[in-house]
Structure 1
Amino acid sequence: MSAPRTNWAGNITYGARRVHTPASVDELREVVAGSSRIRALGSRHSFSEVADTDGDLVSLAGLPHTVEVDDAAARVTVAAGMRYGDLCRPLHEQGWALHNLGSLPHISVAGAVATATHGSGDELGNLAAAVAALQLVTADGDLVTLRRGDDDFAGAVVGLGALGIVAGMTLDVVPAFDVRQEVYEGLSRETLEKRFDEIFATAYSVSVFTDWSAPTVRSWVKRRVSEPDGWAPDPTWMDARLADGPRHPVPGMPAVNCTAQLGVAGPWYDRLPHFRLDFTPSSGEELQSEYLVPRAVAADALRALGGVADRIAPVLQICEIRTVAADDLWLSPAYGQDVVGFHFTWVRDSAAVLPVLPLMERELAPFGARPHWGKLFTVDPERLPELFSRLTDFRRLRDRYDPQGTFGNAFVDRHVG
């Protein structure tokens, strides 16, 4: 089969010779064993070159969409190529939920985990934090299972596709729950800085959106339902007001493809993401970057970015600020510390956007900002071992699992070494 030409946004043209779509794990093992250079292709939503290759691509979308719940262990085993949106409904029907979800339910489980993609919530780890076990197809076609507690597990979960092709995962689950979502407008930037911790501790999941030009911001507040049926949202919060209708994160965009707001309760999988599975959130007319800083310096980082707001705003669609709890996964931006992510959705104009990234990275450098692996960044690879303290350990792990570089690519070679 011929390889797909571009990623979702169109800013990456894949160099792969062909793409394979195996229909079973056995076929996947054969494909991997027969290739000298191969990478997994997820939902193509990465904006960096993390999935590109000059060899073969393999899509896991053709593997059987298995959802096997172990009620006693509170875990679910799933095919790695499934999208979160396709996993969530059958999981919910069996009375279970994932602890967290990203903004988009359209992304694949394996791809999101491999890049430490995440949602938002003070007490919530990213999506990779839910992984209890993974099945990895190694370069010779062997199927290896790694479980939480194994020596290599914490290094392998956020693996950038560099250790092998993940065929399946076992995830921790929690009892299903409902969520109410409200949007507040007019929160001042001054209040955001002064009451940052209080704002993000307000609810189960909180996101703040800014265009870096207006003096006020919007906030998406997602609460687990525990109130009685007569509960109503507070019309004012901090110095903000409740939106009088549904909103899209990007001002001026129609909210039809967004999950229900206005305090209407609904299942976790239809409220924690900002966008609905049955709508494409946009046409791909965007680029994205994200930098994650320690929670303790969030307000300082916010002020530092404000110093270059005049360069950010002209090429920005929207910036989302969100929190993520610490984890122990080596290449996760939340490794060892609670973090705040500054996520930038840019206009799709690489020539205009790329010069802005080093300006922001310079401002955030004093705070040890870690880039998101699946987004655009220009951080010097020589600095990455300082930012990701287990990167050298990961190199040794990669060399042991893939000594011939079967799963390498230019991105991994450059940033892992």
Structure 2
Amino acid sequence: MLTTGTPARNWAGNITFGAARSHRPSTIDELRRVVATARSVRVLGAGHSFSDIADTTEDQVRLDGLPRRVEIDRDAATVTVGGGLRYADFCAEVHAAGFALPNLASLPHITVAGAVATGTHGSGNELRGLASSVAAIELIGPEGDPLRLSRAEDPERFAGAVVNLGALGPVTALTLDLEPTYDVAQWVYTGVPLDTVAAEFDDISGAGHSVSTFTDWRGGEGGVWLKRRVDRQGAGHPGVDWHGGRLSETAIHPIPGMPPETCTPQLGVPGPWYDRLPHFRLAFFQREGDEIQSELFLPRSAVREAFAALRELGDRIAPLLYVSEVRTIAADELWLSPTQGRDSVAFHFTWHRRPEAVLEVVAAIEERLLPLGARPHWGKVTAAAPAVVVAGYERFADFRRLVLDHDPDGRFRNAYVSRLLDAAPR
């Protein structure tokens, strides 16, 4: 096991972790000993969170040194993967076995455990967040003991334990539901009027298995990334001219001026789900980012009001923005899922790394969108007070009780988790 006192930063460099010790265990037993002897432990995944959710002043653990675990159960149509694995580490293997995940995030480089713990998602009117694929979760408890929870055996507690903000301890494995493999073809439409996207949102967001709209909120237009399942929607596009936009004849990066070679194949060329649903290819992974991200989840019913509010703020947003993305996610019943109880639309912002200026604009956006029911992404930047954030979750008090019961001495808590638990109703 490698143990150091060297401080680490998150992927974007906007958070420098305060851990006194950093551990990279090579076995589950080593991980159990770290947990059992530490005062406070937090797990760091791919470091792709922009909040201080993984920070600690005590012991920080990375799980990517554990033995590789990918177990496909053909009869149950599940795969069990190690907690340190990224989606890119096993999706091709799942596909080769004839299976697929229903959805993926924009990046294949994030860890499964980190994505699940923070409520990360992909896109699609009928597709739920990534955590909804979890059928069972394996944890190390506060005394170093292994624990397994499953949807089938303990559905109530399980619903509170999946999106867990790291507050229940290191996740050593997750079992994910699978379905038969499928191909996807994607196209890009440019110059789609934002007025049209808002007015015809149901038609546009429902035109594919996964649909994203990219814009800067100032220019009045956006690009629509349309991803269609070949087995359900065919391999054709809906027309050269569509909703006021034009089918692109060349590959395009969502951020203007960036090379399209970093993106997954477009132009309607079918390919396996894991090489089309993400926007970006594994081979072009950047080890460090020069950006900050924020994201808000709103009920689908608020989409037109949200579009109007963001366009009114466009002159403040655009100068600090690389790009903004609009996606849909279906409702689920996981307690801390940002889409719990409601079909949602997510407004994502990729900002230049100017933290103070960005936070001012994020606050202005949240001032307009929080009254519409917005919930901030757990792993991204927000200006909202903890009490405001937890008020958006009707089961947060139950989550607080779950955490205190599971970890009464606070071994898995940090400042991030404590702020939220302290703000929760008793």
State TM-score, norm by structure 1. Answer: 0.97
1:304-323 to structure 2, matched below 5 A, reads 304-323=309-328
What displacement does 1:295 show? 0.8
Counterpart check, 1:360 vs 2:369: no
SS at match of 1:13: coil
Structure 1 residue 130 and structure 2 residue 106: aligned?
A: no
| Alignment partners' CA distance in 1, 2:227 and 2:408 | 45
Which runs of structure 2 are paired with 1:396-407 in the superposition (5 Å)? 396-407=401-412
Matching of residue 335 in structure 1 with residue 340 in structure 2: yes
Amino acid aligned to 1:362: E
Structure-to-structure mapping, 1:7-406, within 5 angstroms:
7-149=10-152, 150=154, 151-226=156-231, 231=236, 234-280=239-285, 283-406=288-411
Secondary structure at 2:326's aligned position in 1? Answer: strand
Q: CA RMSD in A?
A: 1.5
Q: Deviations over 1:65-117 (max 9, x none)?
A: 21111111111111011000111011111111111000000000000000010
Task: State how far apart, in whole Å, the 2-side matches of 1:404 and 1:379 are.
Answer: 27
Q: Deviations over 1:26-57 (max 9, x none)?
A: 22111111111000110000000000001111
**Equivalent position amino acid for 1:253 in 2:** M
**Secondary structure in structure 1 of the residue aligned to 2:53:** coil
Offset, 1:416: 2.6
How big is the shift at 1:23?
A: 1.3
Partner deviation per Cα, 1:362-413 (whole Å, 9 max, x = no partner): 1002211000000000111122232011111111000001111101111111
- Between stretches 21-30 and 173-182, larger displacement belongs to 21-30
Please state how far the C-alpha of 1:161 moved relative to its aligned partner: 0.4
Q: Secondary structure at the residue paired with 1:416?
A: helix
How far apart, CA to CA, are the structure 1 residues paired with 2:68 and 2:56? 26
Does 2:9 match 1:6? Answer: yes
Distance 1:34 1:280, change over 3 A: same
Q: What percent identity do the matched residue pairs reach?
A: 52
Q: Which runs of 5+ in 2 are unaligned?
A: none
Q: Name the CA distance, whole Å, in 1 between partners of 2:128 and 2:304.
A: 21
Segment of structure 1 superposing worse, 122-131 or 27-36 = 27-36
Q: What per-residue deviation string (whole Å, max 9, x for no partner) do you get for residues 103-159 of structure 1?
A: 000000000000010100000011100000000101101111100041310000000
Deviations 1:301-340 (A, max 9, x none): 1112222222111111100000001111111100011100
Task: Give 3-state SS (helix, strand or coil) of 1:136's partner.
Answer: strand
Normalised TM-score (structure 2)? 0.95
Q: Which amino acid aligns with 1:409?
A: N
Matched position secondary structure for 1:152: helix
Amino acid at match of 1:360: I
The one-letter amino acid paired with 1:20 is H
Distance verdict in 2 for CA 1:158–1:229, change over 3 Å: closer
Structure 1, unpaired ranges of 5+: none
Tell me the alpha carbon deviations over residues 207-226 of structure 1, each in whole angstroms, 9 at most, x when there is no partner: 00001121210010000013
Contact (CA 8 Å) 1:384, 1:391: kept in 2 or not? no
Deviation, 1:350, is 0.5
